[in-house]
Amino acid sequence: MARGSFRLKKPRLNDAALSLARAGVRLPSYDRTEGQIGVVHFGPGAFHRAHQAFYFDRMLERDPTFAISAVSLRSDDVRAALEAQDGLYSLTEREAEPVIRIIGSIREVLTAPRSPDAVLARLADPAVRIVSATVTEKGYCLTPAGDLDLDQPAVRHDLGRTLPPQTLVGWLVEGLRLRRAAGHAPPTVISCDNLSGNGERFRRSALQFADASGQGDLARWIEGEVPFPDTMVDSITPATDDALRAEAADRLGLIDAWPIQRERFVQWVVADALGDDTEAFAAAGVTVASDVAAFERAKLRLLNGAHSTLAYVGLGLGFESVFEAMSDPALSGFVERMVRQDMAATLAPTAGLDPNVYIGQILARFRNPAIVHKLSQIAWDGSQKLPIRLLATIADALAAGRSVDRLVVGVAAWMQFVRRQALVGATIVDPLGAELAELGRRCDGVAAHDVAGFLAIRAVFAPQLAEPPRFRSAVEKAYGLLGREDPRAALSL
């Protein structure tokens, strides 16, 4: 079939064509004509449509006031694709047996530079109770210290209160100003980006913006009245490509200009600051928690720590993907022992979080044959990832007097990975790439020599961890085992 030929044989997905969807397609179970926009979301990219919009779709089954006005800060692509589809799109959940559903929660798509008055009207509308965002870390315009970067040109533009705004924080603060001036209650503002303490960071930037723009009274109102709950989000969302478009058209019997896919697992944890909407979020499967940081810590240690170990050890064994690596009984068994016996032991009990259930979900995700997650991609930026994914866990285990023999295998495997990359002249994708490449070229395979060079990198290894002999000797042992002709010896630890 020629590329794009399937487009000529099927109608376009929209409200009128829903009845034509093929059997097995899961359709919205509510009347979309009754939906009322109660959510303004900035950044309607693939992750939002696979994640938050999926949850709001569930909420609409019980309450018609959770429809979404999706706002793109710059690109008009999403509006162009979804406007002709009445906001509808398909979501394929990737498992051995995929499930496809049509999401109906997006009622309108606005491009901010194209329709600034409409965006401000939505933000000022008292019917809007949630303002959320997925704009990546860059979209918050923060300095490395976490403050609003007042030197960015777009921030300076918005501080002058010249409309329309150019930044997320500029749009938010102007919308809050309009709400306050009209005497309306404030919305709940929810950052859904993968930033530690994302709600507090967003709140802080809004306060700093209001103060810096000469709106001190507004800043104090925001500080006292506007909730900014922290959140944690999780689900692997592969990019849309022509193969997915063709597959979606075949499964739907309809043409979807921008279908989305993700793994079936999806998680959204929101701090308990949702007020009257708490029950609706919880009923839709959102975890409303008193301590989001505890869930984030569990994710970093159990999921991300295991991912990094799997990546560096798996690459050393010649595997390319997480699924391939987990298909190796010795490696998968090692990872499971490490997560269940060593990593979980460093977590404090948390209401709503069952570590055994969560670990089971993580291992099932790793073994999902429908998700191709490249080990090489997980291996990027190791110098930044290891301190929070593995080294913090190791420090806690050492402080508690527990063994770290399995926990350090991922650290030693990273060192061996750097050495291999340097020896063949391959690129090391890392902020410290040049320094690591030079260090890798100096490695001679002798554990004591090579490990000492790595542990001297203070940007990665703090002295209180690197200097005690217990940690150093454990890393040297694992490094030596992984450097053998058969590195599987390390997997017996």
Q: Are 112 and 174 in contact (CB under 8 A)?
A: no
Residue 9 confidence (pLDDT)? 76
Residue 1 confidence (pLDDT)? 37
Distance CA 21, CA 60 (A): 21
What's the distance, CA 321 to chain centroid? 19
- The tokens describing 156, both together, are 């300076």
Q: Does residue 88 sit in helix, strand or coil?
A: coil
Q: Hey, which residues does 111 pair with through a beta bridge?
A: 72
Distance CA 460, CA 462 (A): 7
Which residue spans within 273-375 are E strands per DSSP? 287-289
Q: What is the 3-state secondary structure (H, E, C) of 251-287?
A: HHCCECCCCEEEECCCEEEEECCCHHHHHHHHHCCCE
Give the angle subtended at the CA of 332 by the CAs of 329 and 335, to the nearest 5°.
145
Domain boundaries, the chain: 5-290, 293-492
Question: Domain 293-492 class?
Answer: mainly alpha
- Indicate the residue type of 138: K
Q: Is the peptide bond before 164 cis (omega within 30 degrees of 0)?
A: yes
Q: Does domain 5-290 have CATH number 3.40.50.720?
A: yes
pLDDT in tens, the chain (493 residues): 344 444 457 999 999 999 999 999 999 999 999 999 999 999 999 999 999 999 999 999 999 999 999 999 999 999 999 999 999 999 999 998 999 999 999 999 999 999 999 999 999 999 999 999 999 999 999 999 999 999 999 999 999 999 999 999 999 999 999 999 999 999 999 999 999 999 999 999 999 999 999 999 999 999 999 999 999 999 999 999 999 999 999 999 999 999 999 999 999 999 999 999 999 999 999 999 999 999 999 999 999 999 999 999 999 999 999 999 999 999 999 999 999 999 999 999 999 999 999 999 999 999 999 999 999 999 999 999 999 999 999 999 999 999 999 999 999 999 999 999 999 999 999 999 999 999 999 999 999 999 999 999 999 999 999 999 999 999 999 999 999 988 999 999 8
Q: Are 122 and 69 in contact (CB under 8 A)?
A: yes
| pTM beyond 0.75 | yes
Q: Are 116 and 130 in contact (CB under 8 A)?
A: no
Of 339, 342, 338, which Cα lies nearest the Cα of 299?
339
